Amino acid sequence: MSARKVKEQPAQYKAEPKAPFDIKERTFLFSVRVVKLVGRVPRNVAGLEIGRQLIRAGTSVGANVEEAQSGESKRDFVHKMGIAVKEARESRYWLRIVKATLLQDVEVDALVQEGDELVRIIATIINKSKRTLG
pLDDT digits (tens, 9 = 90+) for 77-109: 999 999 999 999 999 999 999 999 999 999 999
pLDDT at 111 over 60: yes
The answer to whether the beta carbons of residues 103 and 40 sit under 8 Å apart is yes
Q: What SS3 state is found at 85?
A: helix
Domain ranges in the chain are 23-131
User: What's the pLDDT at 10?
Assistant: 42
pLDDT, tens digit (0-9, with 9 covering 90-100), for 12-24: 434 445 666 899 9
pLDDT of residue 21: 80
CB-CB neighbours of 95 under 10 Å: 27
Mean pLDDT of 126-133: 93
Residue 1 clears pLDDT 60, i.e. is over it: no
Question: pLDDT tens digits, residue range 39-63?
Answer: 999 999 999 999 999 999 999 999 9
Q: Please enumerate in sequence order all residues whose Cβ is within 8 A of that of 111, keeping only pairs 6 or more positions apart, or say none.
A: 30, 33, 34, 37, 95
Regarding pTM above 0.85, the answer is: no
CATH number belonging to the domain at 23-131, selected among 3.40.50.150, 2.40.50.140, 1.20.1440.60, 1.20.1740.10: 1.20.1440.60
Whether the per-residue pLDDT at 9 is higher than 80: the answer is no
Read off the pLDDT band of 5 (50, 70, 90).
very low
Instruction: Give the Å distances, CA to CA, from 133 to 6, 41, 77.
Output: 67, 43, 11
CA neighbor of 62 nearest in space, from 8, 9, 121: 121
The sign of the dihedral angle between the CA atoms of 91, 32, 71, 133 is: positive
